[in-house]
């Protein structure tokens, strides 16, 4: 027991030393991220994407916002890649880095951080299998998410990941990608082939064709019912047994396993057999191999522009909070002879080995991502035109896990990651789960724009999360900033940086400096008075700790905190 106490004391001492460096000044900051290798630079691709947007802006005549400051861009990157605001520690490191190409170097470094792979894996898992628990025992969403995170850490090809998901075989534990299949197992132990077909087209080709299960698509004449049926037929041989996911070519009566459809009003014995078929470019479909392998090869074919456009649009949505084309799974059909922004990103994505990191870097370095969210429009119609044209960074409400992740990170001076002390990691795990249960989850359609609710606002205002994380204690940001900031002005600045990743305005700085200085004078005067002689009718003045706690609480509940901007 004594050893544990000593270890805890050493840990606290180490945190205190690090906090002095962060809250005060860093004499020797860690080395900045290394320069991006020449063969990995994306200057020409970013320039082509920017030129496309500039062409559109000129044609539409919209006003273009100014470039955002680098701290705002860092906040956007941290929210989109880690799901939290940047820590005060990272902000200090970022500002100490004055070497060229800072944004590109930091994006590249962030893509090597496990926080990115863990967070992005969860985002991808939602599009692949949703958020439900799925069939008991045979579906392990956690194993799928861990596998996705591992693939992202290795910067694996999205095409190869897609093939492994669609054509997966084996146990849902030993072969985690097979959970893309097992989530569709039904109570009668059969596989819901319609669910797999619909999910595959939505996720990998960016098209929602679920309604074509029963009739031709009512809004898109290009998608017919027989298209959906032909795609579903590729999954007809898929089965889940005690040995895991497998394909069975014949049934119990040694007859070939085929996809049968019973039309409305028909009898079971009148079911028609539907052969596997793709809705376009059948020449891309291999003639050999299992059904799911052939489908996977067709979906990921090098000439299938829908595949690259779909993932480019989805990653754009992850970075901005809204997709380039909304909804994310209702993309317009590729135009013959014409290229748009999705094509430009998709081509570089293909050329660089189908790696998601390429899309992320292109988007992060693009002009639209680095524009300010402050519009120069004089009328609402002008602003809406800017938003539609991406000539201003869109204001998007943070996702629930981003809200609690940001609350927890802002409540600590040091970066909370896999290297944090065990106490901090356990606290985050418990807080995130509890908060998500109370705040609500956005579900599968996470990129749909949703309004905030009164219960969500009340949870941020009155919930224990905001209250606990704004306390001025030994291991909280508020307490450490008070203890180790060299002066009152630094206290206010550090508080704003920790919560909003920006410095206070002159008006904000003056307001809280006056309160802190008044509290210091009141405390000094009180110490000179005998407590018994103090006027009982005089209300007690707030202490400096209370003022900083209130400042954190105010920033936590400000609209600025809960929006990406």
Q: What is the pLDDT of residues 157-209, one digit of tens each?
A: 999 999 999 999 999 999 999 999 999 998 888 899 999 999 999 999 999 88
pLDDT bin (cut points 50, 70, 90) of residue 530 is: very low
Q: With 50 as the cut, is the pLDDT of residue 39 above it?
A: yes
Q: With 80 as the cut, is the pLDDT of residue 24 above it?
A: no
Q: With 80 as the cut, is the pLDDT of residue 453 above it?
A: no
Per-residue confidence (pLDDT) for residue 172, from 0 to 100? 93
Q: With 70 as the cut, is the pLDDT of residue 20 above it?
A: no
Per-residue confidence (pLDDT) for residue 218, from 0 to 100? 61
Q: Six-digit token pair at 60?
A: 């539409």
Per-residue confidence (pLDDT) for residue 220, from 0 to 100? 67
Q: Looking at beta carbons, which pairs linking 524-531 to residues 24 or more positions away fall under 8 Å?
A: none
Q: With 50 as the cut, is the pLDDT of residue 132 above it?
A: yes
Distance from the first to the final alpha carbon of the chain: 48
Helix (H) or strand (E) holding 410: helix 400-410
Write down the residue that tokens 């031709």 correspond to: 216
For 47-71, write each residue's pLDDT tens digit.
999 999 999 999 999 999 999 999 9
Per-residue confidence (pLDDT) for residue 538, from 0 to 100? 54
The answer to whether 45 and 348 have CB atoms below 8 angstroms apart is yes
Residues 275 and 193: their CA atoms lie apart, in Å, by 13
Listed residue (488, 478, 485) closest to 551, CA to CA: 478
Per-residue confidence (pLDDT) for residue 12, from 0 to 100? 46
Per-residue confidence (pLDDT) for residue 242, from 0 to 100? 85
Alpha carbons within 13 A on the beta-carbon side of 454? 0
Per-residue confidence (pLDDT) for residue 8, from 0 to 100? 41
For 224-234, write each residue's pLDDT tens digit.
888 888 999 99
Q: Six-digit token pair at 159?
A: 């095409």
Those residues with Cβ within 8 angstroms of residue 248's Cβ, 6 or more apart along the chain or in another chain: 237, 239, 257
pLDDT bin (cut points 50, 70, 90) of residue 249 is: confident
Per-residue confidence (pLDDT) for residue 526, from 0 to 100? 52
DSSP lists the bridge partners of residue 330 as: 207
């Amino acid at each position: 027991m004594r050893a544990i106490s000593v270890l805890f004391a050493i840990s606290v001492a180490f945190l205190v030393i690090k906090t002095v460096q962060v809250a005060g000044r860093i004499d020797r900051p860690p080395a900045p991220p290394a320069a991006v290798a020449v063969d990995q630079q994306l200057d020409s691709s970013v320039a082509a994407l920017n030129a496309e947007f500039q062409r559109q802006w000129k044609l539409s005549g919209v006003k273009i916002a100014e470039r955002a400051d680098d701290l705002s861009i860092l906040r956007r990157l941290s929210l989109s890649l880690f799901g939290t605001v940047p820590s005060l520690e990272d902000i200090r490191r970022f500002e100490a880095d004055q070497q060229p190409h800072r944004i590109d170097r930091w994006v590249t470094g962030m893509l090597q951080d496990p926080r990115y792979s863990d967070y992005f894996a969860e985002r991808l898992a939602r599009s692949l299998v949703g958020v439900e628990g799925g069939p008991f025992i045979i579906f392990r969403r956690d194993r799928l998410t861990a596998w996705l995170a591992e693939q992202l850490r290795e910067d694996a090809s999205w095409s190869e990941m897609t093939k492994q998901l669609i054509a997966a075989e084996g146990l849902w534990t030993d072969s985690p990608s097979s959970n893309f299949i097992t989530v569709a197992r039904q109570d009668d132990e059969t596989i819901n082939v319609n669910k797999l077909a619909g999910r595959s087209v939505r996720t990998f080709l960016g098209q929602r064709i679920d309604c074509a299960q029963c009739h031709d698509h009512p809004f898109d004449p290009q998608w017919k019912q027989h298209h959906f049926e032909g795609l579903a037929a590729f999954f007809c041989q898929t089965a889940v047994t005690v040995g895991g996911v497998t394909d069975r070519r014949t049934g119990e009566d040694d007859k070939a396993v085929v996809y049968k459809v019973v039309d409305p009003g028909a009898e079971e014995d009148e079911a028609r057999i539907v052969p596997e078929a793709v809705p376009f470019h059948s020449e891309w479909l291999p003639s050999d191999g299992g059904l799911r392998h052939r489908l996977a090869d067709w979906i990921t074919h090098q000439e299938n522009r829908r595949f690259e456009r779909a993932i480019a649009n989805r990653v754009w949505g992850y970075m901005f909070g809204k997709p380039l084309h909304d909804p994310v799974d209702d993309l317009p059909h590729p135009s013959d002879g014409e290229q748009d922004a999705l094509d430009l990103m998709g081509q570089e994505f293909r050329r660089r080995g189908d790696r998601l990191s390429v899309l992320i870097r292109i988007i992060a370095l693009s002009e639209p991502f680095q524009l300010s969210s402050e519009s120069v429009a004089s009328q609402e119609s002008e602003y809406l035109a800017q938003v539609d044209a991406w000539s201003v960074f869109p204001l998007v409400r943070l996702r629930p896990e981003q809200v609690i992740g940001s609350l927890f990170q802002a409540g600590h001076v040091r970066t909370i990651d896999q290297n944090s002390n065990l106490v901090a990691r356990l606290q985050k795990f418990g807080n995130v789960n509890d908060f998500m249960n109370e705040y609500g989850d956005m579900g599968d359609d996470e990129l749909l724009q949703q309004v905030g609710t009164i219960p969500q606002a009340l949870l941020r205002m009155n919930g224990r999360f905001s209250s606990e994380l704004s306390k001025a204690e030994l291991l909280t940001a508020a307490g450490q900033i008070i203890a180790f900031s060299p002066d009152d002005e630094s206290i206010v600045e550090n508080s704003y940086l920790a919560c909003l990743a920006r410095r206070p305005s002159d008006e904000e700085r003056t307001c809280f400096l006056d309160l802190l200085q008044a509290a210091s004078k009141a405390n000094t005067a009180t110490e000179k008075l005998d407590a018994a002689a103090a006027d009982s009718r005089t209300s007690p003045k707030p202490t400096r700790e209370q003022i900083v706690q209130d400042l954190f609480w105010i920033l936590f509940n400000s609209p600025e905190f809960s929006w990406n901007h």
